[in-house]
A and B are shown apart, each in its own frame.
Chain A
Amino acid sequence: MKWDEFFVTGDPLIYGADVSIVLTMVGILFYLTKFKKWKWLWDEWLTTVDHKKLGIMYIVSAVLMMFRGGVDALLMRAQLAVPEANFLDSQHYNEIFTTHGTIMIIFMAMPFLIGLINVVVPLQIGARDVAYPYLNAVSFWTFFIGAMLFNISFVIGGSPSAGWTSYMPLASNELSPGPGQNYYLLGLQIAGIGTLLTGINFLVTILKMRAPGMTLFRMPMFTWSSLVTMVIIIFAFPILTVALVLMTFDRLFGSHFFTLQGEGMDMLWANLFWLWGHPEVYIVILPAFGMFSEIISTFSKKTLFGYKAMIWSMLLIAGYSFLVWVHHFFTMGSGAVVNSVFSITTMAIGIPTGVKIFNWLFTMYRGRIEFTTPMLWSLGFIVNFVVGGVTGVMLAMAAADYQYHNTYFLVSHFHYVLIAGTVFACFAGLIFWYPKMFGYKLNERIGKWVFWIFTIGFNVCFMPQYFLGLDGMPRRVYTYSEESGWGPLNMVSTIGGFMMGIAFVILVYNIYYSFRFAKRETTGDAWNGRTLEWSTPSPMPPFYNFAKIPEVTGLDHFWKQKQAGKVEKLKAEDIKKIHMPSNSGVPFIMASFFFVAGFGMVFDWMWMGIAGMIGVFGTLIYRSFEYDDGYYVSVEEVIETEKISK
């Protein structure tokens, strides 16, 4: 392979990206060296097993990925703004919608939610860390490495271009030659390991590590939604793992699982992909539901309406989510019986979702609503998400879907649910728990500007797409003719897209602004919260979270204590030594070996793939013989920490 095949060449945009990547790298290395931060980086972040720090790293990565995916989106919108534009050629456009979709779902939405779950759930259940802190670090680093592997594709070797769904035979060697599609397979595979481990880790954490008195039906709704999400992850992700392995075999080792030749079944890929893919959309929406529940209840100053109904509807959704996958390929032609069955199951899944919407409305009913920024995002969610849900039910009618399928109508549907659902929740949750993570709130005034610009921009961008879809504009086209008449609405849509981009920039500015100027919190209870995470006395919880594990007596325990004026003061004699897990650099090193292995396989350099895998197994073996039971934080140290932070 010649160097100009290895590096992507010939496009000024890519050269610009090359330059900025190199400059950023040099800048970071320079900063770390100049300010002697290497040791700090290693000790505090790269080797940490603290769920809060891992959570923050997840969120930071997710915001970076949101930027990358957002740039992709704006490039596409720029190309589509006017008919017959020549900004991007078709191959380039294909690559961009592929990386946009994959990055936004796998490397933005999931890690953003998992990051917030990491930070919040152990605090909400009164635990000092997750059940398997070391595994948690493995999760983060494999996700991060998978994301990086996927991301370098656009400068080294070329990006995948078969869509985030990677349908066969389009994704086969014949129609997608070169390393691009391999990046998709390996990047997702490595990151998927992390997700699966997170699923197991948090399932066990929530089941086993709750504070005394916190029965299952006293758990906060966000914890419940995380629990259900973890169950779906555990059962859905192995399907993706297997499907990816089979396609990797097809591409690298000449097997015929999904190929056209050799009796392969190309549509079996679509079938397996959506067997995972539909549960996946619930994986990214349920934690969002959980967050909105917390926020709406906090700022309505009322206990969540229909707590049990919420839980049962989530459990129902978890079961149903495995029964609807065919609605993504009604047009494959499995016949009237199959399509009817899956139409009905799909419509049925709308019912528990509707139940939840009503519960939120009733929670607000006669509450004393406080219009903070997180609450604004939650209200915006209810209004906009309903639009996505209603159009979802329209798509669920198989006969009608022959018309809507693969048009902009579908594109608009899933953006209404994913943006107004998941992305709004990520913003709301980030703002809501920001003071817990960093000790100060994000500026509310700027935050409200962000909300309005983003929400209006979102509707300006995606509402026209429903009509474009009804007008017959297909998805994934890189240009269209003047005569089609799609020009004006596309222009409107592009304007909306850029408004969302502007809102994102202001959001990032707000992070900087608040870091400089925001009033620092003095208590741990920035929003007059209801659940345990707000009961840690310091603005940010110390690394062991709770000096004394709370005893829980009911739902919204902390709120009730406050109402009764009975918040316990920590006494020195209550403090016992605390057992904590030790840091470890192994997860980071293991993930680095995964990178080597993945990169080798992407280019079909088997020696490199094997070398990387030997490294991975080496770290696994090393870990098996490592006997580290953690360490104890002494009573004196706890007392001292608590005093400083009081």
Chain B
Amino acid sequence: MANKTAVNEHHGFPWKHLIGFVLSIVLTLFALWVALGTDLSLTWILIIIFGFAFLQAALQLLMFMHVTENSTKSNLTSRVQIGNILFAAFVAIVIVIGSVWVMTAGHAKHDKHDEPKTENQENHGEHESH
């Protein structure tokens, strides 16, 4: 089949993958340590692990997902690639921003029982994230 040649294309040791793999595990363990093993304030913990999360995403895209590979092969392939990236961004934004919005608007706020009520409860429209 056509992928016969593709199989034999990559030679040499897959350093890129190995480094990516190790780094992604290190980042995860680090995040775990920051959250459980330090006594930083909640805000700082959040900032740090969010930072790690972005690093992690970038790492995955660079090391495994061929994001820099610009296809000169065919028009279709690169259009598919761009469409894919745009859709991925769309879904990621919907998941994150959508969840924050839905979970913090209206009465759903009361869901976090043991937190003191935030003022300004009626403001469920344009929410700035907190």
List residues of A whose CB falls within 8 A of some B CB: 128-129, 131, 207, 209, 216, 231, 235, 239, 260, 263, 265-268, 271-272, 275, 319, 322-323, 325-326, 332-338, 578-581, 629-630
Contacts and interface: CB of A to CB of B under 8 A. Distances in A.
A36 to B, nearest CB: 33
Contacts of B101: 338
Interface in B85-113: 87-88, 90-91, 94-95, 98-99, 101-103, 105-108, 110-113
B39 interface: no
B1 A334 contact: no
A637 B105 CA distance: 67
Contacts of A263: 112, 114-115
Contacts of A265: 103, 111-112
A331 to B, nearest CB: 10
Nearest to A127: B1
List 7 A-B pairs, minimum CB-CB distance, nearest first. Answer: A335-B106, A333-B107, A335-B124, A579-B1, A334-B106, A334-B108, A334-B105
A334 B102 contact: yes
Given A263-B115, A275-B95, A629 B8 contact: yes
Contact of B102 (A131, A235, A338, A630): A338
A275 B99 contact: yes
Interface in B21-62: none
B1 A319 contact: no
A338 B112 CA distance: 18
A337 B111 contact: no
Nearest to B125: A337
Nearest to A239: B95
Nearest to A332: B108
Contact of B107 (A131, A266, A334, A581): A334
Nearest to A339: B106
9 contacts: A265-B103, A268-B99, A268-B103, A271-B99, A272-B99, A322-B95, A333-B107, A579-B4, A581-B1
B3 interface: yes
A271 B112 contact: no
Given A271-B102, A272-B99, A338-B101, A319 B90 contact: yes
Given A131-B3, A235-B88, A271 B113 contact: no
Contacts of B110: 333
Q: How large is the interface on B (under 10, 10 to 19, 20 to 34, 35 or more residues)?
A: 20 to 34
Given A231-B87, A263-B115, A322 B107 contact: no
A235 B87 contact: yes
A519 to B, nearest CB: 35
Contacts of A325: 98
A337 B125 CA distance: 6
Contacts of B8: 629
Contacts of B124: 334-338
A228 to B, nearest CB: 11
Contacts of B103: 265, 267-268, 271, 334
Nearest to A260: B113
Nearest to A326: B102
B85 to A, nearest CB: 12
Contacts of B107: 332-335
Contacts of A272: 99
Contact of A267 (B1, B4, B111): B111
B102 A580 contact: no
A336 B1 contact: no
A338 B1 contact: no
Given A260-B113, A630-B4, A323 B102 contact: no
A214 B87 CA distance: 25
Nearest to A275: B95
Contacts of B108: 267, 332-335
A128 B102 contact: no
A128 B1 contact: yes
Contact of A629 (B7, B88, B94): B7
Interface string B67-95: 00000000010001000000110110011
A629 B4 contact: yes
B29 to A, nearest CB: 16
A282 to B, nearest CB: 14
A630 B108 CA distance: 56
Given A263-B112, A319-B87, 15 more contacts: A128-B1, A268-B103, A275-B98, A322-B90, A322-B94, A333-B106, A334-B103, A334-B105, A335-B106, A336-B124, A337-B105, A337-B124, A337-B125, A629-B4, A630-B4
A335 B105 contact: yes
A49 to B, nearest CB: 12
B91 to A, nearest CB: 5
A129 B1 contact: yes
A260 B113 CA distance: 8
Contacts of B88: 235
A274 to B, nearest CB: 10
Contact of A336 (B94, B98, B102, B106): B106
B113 to A, nearest CB: 7
A235 B106 CA distance: 28
Contact of B2 (A209, A323, A337, A580): A209
A256 to B, nearest CB: 11
A511 to B, nearest CB: 33
A121 to B, nearest CB: 16
Considering residues A325, A335, A580, which has the most beta carbons from chain B within 10 angstroms of its beta carbon?
A335
Contacts of A275: 95, 98-99
A232 B113 CA distance: 35
A334 B111 CA distance: 10
B129 to A, nearest CB: 15
A403 B112 CA distance: 26
A275 B112 CA distance: 20
A268 B108 CA distance: 10
Contacts of B106: 333-338
A332 to B, nearest CB: 6
A512 B81 CA distance: 47
Contacts of A267: 103, 108, 111
B73 to A, nearest CB: 11
A335 B105 CA distance: 6
Contacts of A581: 1
A207 B124 CA distance: 43
